[in-house]
Chain A
Amino acid sequence: MPLPYKVVLLGDSSVGKTSLVHRFIADAFNPHLANTIGAAFISKDYTHNERTVKFEIWDTAGQERYKSLTPMYYRNALVALVCFDLGVPEASFERAKYWIEQLLTLGPADIKIRVVGNKMDLELEEAGLLLLIEEFCRERQLAVLKTSAKRGEGVGELFDSIVLEIPQAEFDSYSLEQAQEGQTDDALLLNLRNRRTGCC
C-alpha cells in the first residue's frame, strides 16, 4: 500500500469543495452532484514524479450546525484545503477565515494549510479584494491557489504540489514500517494465538 496521506477540505457550503474532489478523482465536472450532508470520504492512489501516495480525502459539508463535528475530520489530516468562491470572494472568505483561525489555534501543529480560491472561471475583474485576501494569508505564511473545478484548471497542480512537498524521509520510514509489518502478518498472528490457546 502506498503512503497514506490525509487531506481535509473546509469552507463555506457551495464554494465547490465536492466539485474539486470530483475533478481530482474522476477528472470530470458534474453540475448535478448531490449536496454534501455531514462529510464524504474518498481515497485515491495518485502518482506524481515517481512518488505514489494514497490520498484519503475528507470532504466536509461546511454546515454551521455541525461545526462541532469538524475537528474529527481535521484531527488526523496532514493538509487542509480551505476553500472559498472567487465568484463571491467577500462572503465566502469570511467562512474561510474562520476555518484558518480555528486550524491555527486548535488544529494539529504540523497541518499544512492551503487556501484555495475556486471558480476561477467566475473570478471578478476588480482585484482589490483578492489583494486583501492574499495579504491575510501572507501574514500567516499560507499559500493561496486558484482553481476551477469546472474547467479543470489548477486542480492537478494543487495535488501535484502536495505530493512534491512531502519530505522524502516520510516515504522511506513508511516503506521500512511496511516491510516490518509484513513479518507479523495479521493472519499469522491469529494462527499463532489459536495454537497457543489450544482452541480450534
Chain B
Amino acid sequence: MISDDKPLGRPPMLQSKKSTHSFLSSTAGLNPASFLGTDATTAVTLASSDQAEIAIFEEGLGLAKTTLSRSSRSVSPQPSFMVLPPQLALDPLPFVELLHDFVNTSIAKTDDTYKGSKPFNILTETEEDIDESYLEEKVHISKKGEGFTAKLKQFFILSSAGKPIYSMNGDDDVLLGYSGLITTIVASFEDGTDLLFRSISQNGFRMVVMNKSPLILVAISRVSYELMLDLKLLESQLSSVYNYLLAVLSAPVITKSFHNRMNYDLRRVLSAQDLKTLDILTSMLTFGFSDTTDDENKSYTVDPSMFISSLLDDAVQCARLSSTLRAKLDDIFVSCKRLKVNLPQSEATPFLQGKLYTLETTKLLASDLLFAFLIYDNKIVSHLHPKTHCLENKDISTLLLMLSQLSPAGESKNVQEEPDLWFPICLARFNDSGFLHCYVRHLHLPNLSRPLTLLLLSGNKNSFFEMKQSANYIFAKICKSKTLSSSLPEELAQGYLPLTSVLKTPQVKHFIYKRRKANQYIMDPLTFSKDTFENIVDSMFILYLYTALSSSKSEEVRVGASMKKLTYTRWHLKEGFTGFLLADEKYELYCLCKGFVTSLVLIEQSLRIVNWCENYRKRLFIGPGVQF
C-alpha cells in the first residue's frame, strides 16, 4: 500500500541519479523508452550444472561429506537436487558458499550479452513506448464502444444465455456480439460432455472462462506479465470478481434472479456503486492501480498489493507489530467476547420455571460476534475467530475491498463526526447462502495519518447496538492501556520504514516474504513519487518483475529434510535488474535488486532476510489469529 507516512529514518537505499527516493521512484526515472534489450529476461538455469562433491556443515555433526546429486525423479530439464544441512539459521555461511558455487557454474553458461538500446514495453514486451496516451488507449477503463478492442485486458460477467451483466470496457452495442460469441463457444464445447471450458491461449492472447451457472465469468488478457504464468493467475482474478458478486448478492439471490427467466437483468440488482467497485477491482488486479477520478479531479490510487496477493495464492498482508502489543489486542478481543452486561428488567428471562426460579439478569454482550478484525492501512493487525471456523483469505480480501470503498476520501479527523457503519455481506467461502452483518468504526490515534479500523462481523442483523457497545469497549480498552495508546501508533508508523535498511541488505531494493502455512505475506513498504503517471508505470514494473521472477524456472535443492527452491534471474532493462527467489515448505522470499548483483551477495543477503523474518515471525505475521 502506498503511504504518505514519513519513514522515520532516511533509508540508505536511495541511489537513483534522478534524486528520486526509492527503488520504485528510480524506476520511475527510468523512461520506458530507455529500457534496454529485446530479449530482456535471462533466467539462469541451474539444471545444467555438473555433479560435484562438496563439503557441508551438518548441525551437531561437524563437517560431513555429501554428494550433490540429482534426484532420480528429475527428468532434464527438470530441477536438480542437492543435499544440505537442515539448520542454516545457526551458521548460514557454508550454505551461502555452496549455493553460490551452484549458481555460479550455471551463470557462466548463460548468455549474458548486452542487447543494445531499444525501448521495452513491460505490458507487451515490444518496443512500443508507454506514455500517457498509450495508457489511455490500452489500459485505462473505458465504457465507450470505440477503442474497445485496443484494451489489453477485458473482464466480463455474462449470463449463461449470453447477456452482458458487467464488462470492464465497452458499451452494450459492442458487448452484445461478444457475449453471444463467448457463450456460444463455451456452450458448444461443454455440450454433451462432462468437460468445462477453461481457456484459449495463443500468441500473446489468453481467454480464461469460469462457468458459474447461471453466470459465466471471462477474463481476456494480452498483458505480458499475466501470460508468463499458468492459468491460475487469471482464474484467481475471476474468482475474486465472483467472490465480490457473491458478497453483495449471495448465491441464492443470483440463482433466484435467473430462476424464472434466463434473461433477467442482474444489473437491476447491482448498484452503480457495485459496478464502480468492480472497475476498481479489475483494474487493481491487473495493473496495480485504479481510477478514482470524480467530477472535478482526475486521480488514481496506485497499489500493487492486490495483484501480488493473487500472485502469492491469495496471501494476505499483515501489519508489523511487536508480539506483546499484538497479544494485548488479542486479549481485548477475547475479553470482549466474554463481556457480560445487565439486561434491562423488561428483558430479563426466567431460566428456571417453577416454584423456584431465578431471573437471568445478565447476558453476553457480544454473543453474536463471529469474527473481528483490526485493520491498519489494508493490513491485518489483529483477528478474532471462533475455534471451529476460520475465514479463507479470499473472503478476507473481499472484506478489505468493501472496506476500502467505505472510507471517505476527505479525511475527517473528528471522531465525533464519523458514523458507525452497518452493512450485510456474504462471505462466500464461509457461507455463500447467508449474510453476515458487518459493523465498522474507525479509531483515530494521535500521530497516525490513517485510522485504525475495527470490523465486527455478527451473525444477527439486529445486533447493531451490541456491536456498537462492543466497539466502545474495545476502543476504550485500547485508549486506556498505557502501552497500547503510546506504542501502537509508534509501531504502526514504523511499518513504513524500509526493511531493507533495517536489515542492512543494501543490494536488495525490495522484497516480499510469505509464510506458507498461514498464507500471509509482508512486503517492504513502497514509496512512490508524486507524479501519478510515473507511479502507475512503476507499479506495473514491479508487477512485471515479480511475475517474471516467480515464473522463471527454479531449481530445487535438498537441505536436510526440506527442499529449497531457488531462482536467480537477470533483466537487461536499463541499468539492469536482478531477481532472486528462495523458497521451501515454510516460506517464499522474492527479492529485487537494481543492477546485476552476484549470486553470492544475493544469497547471503537473502538468507539474512529469511533468518530475520523467521526470528521475528510473531511480529510480522498474525498467523491464524486469536480464537474464542
Binding site for B on A (CB under 8 A): 13-14, 21-22, 25-26, 30-35, 37-42, 59, 61, 63-66, 69, 72, 186, 189-190, 193
Given A41-B422, A59-B419, the answer on whether A32 and B408 have CB atoms closer than 8 Å is yes
The listed residue with most B CB atoms (<10 A of its CB), out of A32, A64, A69, is: A32
Bits for B268-288, please: 1 = Cβ < 8 Å to A, else 0: 110111001000000000000
What separation, in Å, do the CA atoms of A40 and B438 have in the docked complex? 11
The listed residue with most B CB atoms (<10 A of its CB), out of A14, A32, A37, is: A37
Contact B405 A41 (CB under 8 A): no
Contacts of A25 in B (CB 8 A): 417
Q: Is B595 an interface residue (CB 8 A)?
A: no
Residue on B with the closest CB to A197?
B358
Contact A69 B461 (CB under 8 A): yes
Beyond the given A32-B410, A42-B420, please list 9 additional residue pairs across the A-B interface where CB-CB is below 8 A. A25-B417, A26-B412, A30-B408, A33-B409, A35-B273, A35-B405, A41-B468, A72-B461, A193-B361
Q: Is B178 an interface residue (CB 8 A)?
A: no
CB distance from A1 to the nearest CB of B (A): 15
Contacts of B272 in A (CB 8 A): 13-14
Which B388-431 residues have C-beta < 8 A from chain A?
Answer: 402, 405-410, 412, 414, 417-424
Contacts of A13 in B (CB 8 A): 271-273
11 A-B pairs (CB sep. < 8 Å): A25-B417, A31-B294, A31-B296, A33-B409, A35-B273, A39-B422, A40-B421, A41-B468, A42-B420, A63-B271, A65-B253
Which B451-487 residues have C-beta < 8 A from chain A?
Answer: 461-462, 464, 468
What separation, in Å, do the CA atoms of A152 and B391 have in the docked complex? 44
CB distance from B426 to the nearest CB of A (A): 11
What separation, in Å, do the CA atoms of A46 and B534 have in the docked complex? 49
What separation, in Å, do the CA atoms of A107 and B60 have in the docked complex? 78
Contact B462 A32 (CB under 8 A): no
Q: Is B295 an interface residue (CB 8 A)?
A: yes
Given A26-B417, A34-B408, A34-B409, the answer on whether A64 and B268 have CB atoms closer than 8 Å is yes
CB distance from A123 to the nearest CB of B (A): 19
Given A34-B408, A72-B462, the answer on whether A40 and B342 have CB atoms closer than 8 Å is no
Residue on A with the closest CB to B297?
A32
A-B contact count (CB 8 A): 81
Contacts of B296 in A (CB 8 A): 31
CB distance from A11 to the nearest CB of B (A): 14
Contact A64 B461 (CB under 8 A): no
Contact A37 B421 (CB under 8 A): yes
Given A26-B414, A42-B420, the answer on whether A65 and B269 have CB atoms closer than 8 Å is yes
CB distance from B344 to the nearest CB of A (A): 10
Contacts of B410 in A (CB 8 A): 30, 32-33
Q: Is B602 an interface residue (CB 8 A)?
A: no
The listed residue with most A CB atoms (<10 A of its CB), out of B407, B419, B462, is: B419
Contact A41 B419 (CB under 8 A): yes
What separation, in Å, do the CA atoms of A33 and B271 have in the docked complex? 17
Q: Is B139 an interface residue (CB 8 A)?
A: no
Q: Is B248 an interface residue (CB 8 A)?
A: yes
Given A32-B410, A41-B468, A64-B269, the answer on whether A186 and B420 have CB atoms closer than 8 Å is no
Contact B406 A65 (CB under 8 A): no
Given A26-B417, A65-B248, A69-B461, the answer on whether A37 and B406 have CB atoms closer than 8 Å is yes
Q: Is B249 an interface residue (CB 8 A)?
A: yes
Given A32-B410, A65-B269, the answer on whether A37 and B405 have CB atoms closer than 8 Å is yes
Contact A41 B406 (CB under 8 A): no
